[in-house]
Amino acid sequence: MALRVGVIGGGQLARMMVPPAIELGLDIRVLAEDEGMSAGIAASAVGDYHDTPTVLGFARDVDVITFDHEHVPQEVLGALVDAGVAVHPGPAALAVAQDKLVMRARLSELSLPVPDWAAVADAGALQAFLDDHGGRAIVKTPRGGYDGKGVRVVRHPDDVADWLTDLQTNGFGALLAEELVAFTRELAQSVARRPSGEIVAWPVVETVQRDGVCAEVIAPAPDSAGRIADAAEEIAVRIATELGVTGVLAVELFQTEDDRLLINELAMRPHNTGHWSIDAATTSQFEQHLRAVLDLPLGATGMLAPSAVMINVLGGPADGDIAARYPGALHAFPEAKFHFYGKAPRPGRKVGHVTVAGDDVDDVTYRARAAAARFD
Ligand code: ADP
């Protein structure tokens, strides 16, 4: 009988697990939040992942439960484990990815490099942090942020007066204040780990953010061979091992002027910074995630070309008609790999991505950007 994987969450990450599931002969099912979501192409149920009976019912017919996002409440995860369901990544690891304060505390406990940080529960505590950090800081809501929502540059506690007021009602308890890191660039390191312990790493990549959203990814990160690549891999392997992460783990990093690496964010699932691997690595992050959560031997992570660049299509065409752009784009860029997620175009929304691989990073970057621009 085919191995059965249940994915909670019906976004584009679940959708991109479907092709490798088909190739490997797996039975993949998705619990989507709504009808017509990105992953609706798989055999999908529609239901609320906050509701324990719904999730238990969905899990009854699969061999392992995994995720498209980190938001499934701990009570629901605990109920799955209590019912004997294999859950990967497990609740203890996910708890660290679900809350930025928990994440900072746990990484600090492990002596892993993070920006200076503090939990601030009121204006006085935030002012004290600002005073200690040259009058500027980054403040984040511990939960519910994504794509830069929930992240602000702050010079005065008034800049987050709304969040401080909300603290009482939203149950955060405190905000995360961080030093504003003067990074030279952002990197991301993905690894995959299976329950029995095998762990593999892809090359470290450079990521370019615009308005807090990932815009471009360059694999491998230029000028990263040697010390930087080794350090990034070491950090991600240590996190995956110490936290017992199963499946794909992506670690977002800042590289500083003196070539130190500081950890920004963790994602315990396939991640936007690993989409290039679909077209330019022997094993994509989506195939690897399925192999890892099923505790199957992991695939090789080497690149199929010296360089690959992925550009996100944000928003999509103003007329909303992606398909109308296909004849022109596909004709002009036969070497590009186009991926669209079946989502309605909307300003700022990630609706697809384009990857180009080749020998020369500048040439590949130019062509990937031009191909993606066909969908602006
Ligand atoms: P999200 O979880 O919404 O993606 P992140 O914590 O990853 O938010 O932050 C989004 C972006 O904001 C980062 O990619 C980085 O460009 C910037 N940023 C976040 N934290 C810091 C920091 N401490 N110093 C400087 N820039 C930061």
Instruction: Tell me the average pLDDT across 349-374.
Output: 97
271 and 160, same structural domain? no
Distance 140 CA to ligand 1 centre (A): 9
Looking at the structure, do residues 157 and 211 belong to the same domain, yes or no? no
> Last residue of some domain: 151, 179, 207?
179
pLDDT, mean of residues 184-194: 98
* Structural domain boundaries, residue 36: 4-87
On whether both 311 and 202 belong to a single domain, the answer is: yes
CATH number for the domain including 298? 3.30.470.20
Same domain? For 147 and 274 the reply is: no
Best CA proximity match to 370, nearest among 340, 327, 336, 324: 336
Q: How far is the CA of 82 from the centre of ligand 1 (A)?
A: 36
Whether residue 342 is predicted with pLDDT greater than 80 in this model: the reply is yes
Q: What average pLDDT does range 257-264 have in this prediction?
A: 95
Please state the φ and ψ torsions of residue 51, each to the nearest 5 degrees: -100, 110
What pLDDT score was predicted for residue 298? 98
| pLDDT mean over 98-126 | 97
> Rounded CA gap, 213 and 124, in Å?
31
Give a yes or no: residue 266 inside a domain.
Answer: yes
pLDDT interval class at 149 (50, 70, 90): confident
Same domain, 293 and 208: yes
Q: Answer with the residue of higher pLDDT: 202 or 319.
A: 202
Identify whether the C-beta of residue 281 lies closer than 8 Å to the C-beta of residue 275: no
Lowest-pLDDT choice from 210-214, 366-370, 372-376:
210-214
Q: 76 vs 346, which has greater pLDDT?
A: 76
Ligand 1 midpoint to CA 314 (Å): 18
Same domain, 238 and 346: yes
Taking Cα atoms as reference points, which of 77, 6, 1, 2 lies closest to residue 44?
6
State whether 44 and 157 are in the same domain.
no
User: Which pLDDT band holds residue 108 (cuts at 50, 70, 90)?
Assistant: very high
Q: How many CB atoms lie within 10 A of CB 228?
A: 18
Question: How many whole angstroms separate alpha carbon 344 and alpha carbon 351?
Answer: 7
The answer to whether residues 232 and 282 belong to one domain is yes
Quick one: pLDDT at residue 281? 98
Co-location of 203 and 349 in the same domain: yes
Q: Do residues 232 and 358 both lie within one domain?
A: yes
In short, whether 116's Cβ falls inside 6 Å of ligand 1 is no
pLDDT at 271: 98
Greater confidence (337 vs 43) lies with 337
- Which residue CA neighbors atom 11 of ligand 1 most closely? 212
Q: Are residues 283 and 166 in the same domain?
A: no
Residue whose CA is closest, atom 8 of ligand 1?
A: 148
pLDDT at 173: 86
Q: Tell me the CA–centroid distance for residue 6 and ligand 1, in Å.
A: 31
Ligand 1 pocket residue status of 99, Cβ below 6 Å: no
pLDDT digits (tens, 9 = 90+) for 163-185: 998 887 776 689 999 999 999 99
The mean pLDDT value of the chain amounts to 95
**Is 107 inside any structural domain?**
no
Candidates 139, 133, 134, 108; CA nearest to 262 is 108
| Residue 102, in any domain of the structure | no
Count the domains in the chain. Answer: 3
98 assigned to some structural domain: no
Q: Which residue has the higher pLDDT, 25 or 40?
A: 25
Kindly give the distance from the C-alpha atom of residue 148 to the centroid of ligand 1, in angstroms, as a whole number: 6
Regarding whether 172 and 265 lie in a shared domain, the answer is no
